[in-house]
Structure 1
Amino acid sequence: MKKSMTVMVIALVAIVTAWSLVTYPRVGGEVLNVASRLETAVYGLQRAEIDISDSKLMSWQGGPSEAEAVIMLHGYSADKTVWMRFARYFLDDYRVVILDLPGHGETAFDPELKYDTRSQGQRVIEVMDALGVSRAHIIGNSMGGFIAAQLALHHAKRVLTATLIDPAGVVAPQASDMEKMLAEGRNPFEIASREEFDEFYAMTMAQPPWLPRMVLDYMADDYILRRESLVRIFEDFHSVDMLDSSLGKVRVPVLIMWGERDRLLHFSSAEVWRSGIEGAELVSYPELGHMPMLEAPERSARDVLKFFDKQQ
């Protein structure tokens, strides 16, 4: 009897443990989704699908429909949620469109698509066409900054201004922590465990917003599940030439913003952009990392709005 009770207790513990391992990250995902839905509703952002030639892009949209448009483009492996708190400061005066680019967030990965920045930029133009937007302010972070620069270079008539926040796209004078890891044959974005995610997450921001452990574990598991698609997107993203030699051809107003503690793309790149683009402005943040719009949303938004006002 005693032996059978022991076996039952062990079995019960095993069942509870297995249930917890399966359920725990799902709860974290639900917490994140519910919090995002509530917060965007408070700000006045609404979820909407946009059909273009090769994709159905999910987005958040808000603000007066007749106002100048602002399109926000996230970085590699991120999604539209990184803009949520930043975007609230634009909604009174601008029509805001925040995209999940193909292969990110709620927009599906399709192995038949190309994910280089020129191709993603063309999809942004198709989004503008679908929404009846002739010209827009383009704001991009990291890979999204590279896409914004491609739009400023190749679709200047459609771009009112380009704001590049810690953008990829030029050769950095000094190697970042990520570039050193890549040189050693390891990509920090290729996550195989929650421990690897924690190491990667620490590289993304110097002052990250607080998140419960269960949410971070959900995010880690999501990266693990998306690893194969992220590898493919990374290959496409890095398949195009850097823009160093083309910066002098940019003819739209450009604001460069950079967190000086960026570990993914070294701050030394900021001067390459600033000196390469005629009239480009630079704002830097000594205490911030790779995503100033998420680390200090109000401060960074005010800096962008001040830049917009100068263009009036």
Structure 2
Amino acid sequence: MLVFLHGFNGNKELWLSTVFPLRSTHGVLIPDLPGHGASDNPENGDYRLEAYASAITELLLAEGITNYCLVGSSMGCAVAANLIRGSVSNIHALFFISPFGITERQIRKIRNFRKGTNSPFIVKDIDDYKAFFQTVVHKPLRIPGWVKYYLAIDHIRRNEHIEVMFDALVTSNECLSTLQKERIPLIVLAGRADVVVDTDCFTFLENQLYDCQLHWLSNIGHLPMLEAPKRLATAIQYLLPCSLTNRKYYLGDS
């Protein structure tokens, strides 16, 4: 079973093009995190990383899923890291795609986003949304103008709720120490052109964590599942046997 966890202010739909070619060989679960997508978003909800992890744990238990691999994107990687803390399930491997919110340095960067006026997540108008989109992807996506307009309006409509979630997010703790203790095989897939995350953080994770493999995706930014979903699915499919057997495979700068 592959369990996919989206990032901050994302939703399960971001994974659909990546998951589609994997469905024939693997079971998949793609939830919306609390406060995101079709999930409930109460004003007094708990939107810390630890709370997201608890919600996903409850979902997995309710579905009877005890053997799985976690696939996280951006903040979803930090949710996955919190989820494995004290887990009684058999988590075979972790796939971290553009991981963010793992180290204390990354948490500080999130806090600086919140303190300043340059947070890419707070969108006040259509131009702000265009700038936000240009930040998270390396090359422009082929999305009809009316779809971008709808997404921008929906983002602006949710600004107050996004700020509530952001305020909770910055109170979360780093989870690098958890990953160091659990010793679960980890594969990091990182875009060479990612400007959201300092790319040396990916190398840092490879050096700090047990059985961590770092694979670069050329000409890709922060969201490979939107920029190159087939490439991402192929990489996961190709590297999955490696994660389950602890063998080393060379993916190259694909």
TM-score band w.r.t. shorter chain: 0.7 to 0.9
User: How far apart, in 2, do the equivalents of 1:277 and 1:270 lie?
Assistant: 11
Runs (5+) with no aligned partner, structure 2: 246-254
Deviations 1:213-254 (A, max 9, x none): 111011001111100111111111221122344442132111
CA contact (8 A) 1:163 1:256 kept: yes
Q: 1:156 deviation in Å? A: 6.4
How far, CA to CA, are the matches of 1:138 and 1:146 in structure 2? 11
| 1:195 paired to 2:131 | no
From 76, 89, 92, the equivalent of 1:160 is 92
**Seq. identity, %:** 24
1:9-35 deviation digits (Å, cap 9, x = unpaired): xxxxxxxxxxxxxxxxxxxxxxxxxxx
Q: Structure 1 residues 262 and 190 mapped into 2: Cα distance closer, same or farther (>3 Å)?
A: same
* Residue from 58, 61, 64 that aligns with 1:129: 61
Specify the alignment match of 1:209 in structure 2: 141
Q: Secondary structure at the match of 1:140?
A: strand
- Structure 1 residue 181, shift from structure 2 partner: 5.8
The aligned runs of 1:239-254 (5 Å cut-off) are 239-254=171-186
Rounded to whole Å, the distance in 2 between the matches of 1:183 and 1:233 is 14
The amino acid across from 1:308 in the alignment is: L
- Is the 8 Å Cα contact of residues 5 and 73 (structure 2) preserved in structure 1? yes
Match of 2:71 among 139, 145, 167: 139
| Shift of residue 124, structure 1, vs aligned partner | 0.9
**2:5–2:76 contact (8 Å) kept in structure 1:** yes
Give the TM-score normalised by the residue count of structure 2: 0.88
Contact 1:86 1:297 in 2 (8 A): yes
Cα contact 1:149–1:164 (8 A) shared by 2? no
What amino acid is aligned across from residue 131 of structure 1 in structure 2? E
Aligned match of 1:302? 234
Question: Does structure 1 conserve the Cα–Cα contact (< 8 Å) formed by 2:9 and 2:36?
Answer: yes
Matched residue of 1:99: which SS? coil
Question: Residue in 1 aligned with 2:188?
Answer: 256
1:122-160 Cα distance to aligned partner (Å, 9 max, x none): 111111111111121110101111111222344263422
Gaps of 5+ in 1: 1-68
Q: CA deviation at 1:187?
A: 1.5
In 1, Cα distance between equivalents of 2:170 and 2:111: 13
Structure 1 position 148 matched with structure 2 position 115: no
Give me the whole-angstrom Cα distance separating, in 2, the residues matched to 1:213 and 1:255: 35
Q: In structure 2, how many angstroms separate the alpha carbons of the residues matched to 1:279 and 1:121? A: 23
CA contact under 8 A between 1:171 and 1:269: conserved in structure 2? no
Query: CA shift at 1:179, angstroms?
Result: 8.4
User: Is this contact kept in 1: 2:111–2:170, CA < 8 A?
Assistant: no
Structure-2 separation of matches of 1:191 and 1:214: 17
Aligned length: 242
Corresponding position of 1:80: 12
**2:108 counterpart of 1:170:** no
1:231 to 163, 184, 208: 163
User: Could you say which structure has the greater relative contact order, defined with CA pairs below 8 angstroms and 6 or more residues apart?
Assistant: 2
Structure 2 Cα separation of the partners of residues 182 and 262 of structure 1:
20
Mark the CA change 1:185 to 1:209 in structure 2 (over 3 Å): closer, same or farther.
closer
Whether the aligned pair in 2 keeps the contact of 1:256 and 1:270 (CA below 8 Å) is: yes
Shift of 1:184: 4.1
- Residue 103 of structure 2 aligns with an amino acid whose one-letter code is V
CA contact (8 A) 1:247 1:276 kept: no
Looking at structure 1, the residues matched to 235 and 88 of structure 2 have their Cα atoms a distance apart, in angstroms, of 22
Distance 1:156 1:207 in 2: 41
The structure that has the greater radius of gyration is 1
Asked if 1:106 is matched to 2:52, the reply is no
What CA RMSD, in Å, does the superposition of the two structures yield over aligned residues? 2.1
Task: Sort the Cα spacing of 1:208 and 1:90 in 2 relative to 1 into closer, same or farther, 3 A.
Answer: farther
TM-score normalized by structure 1?
A: 0.72
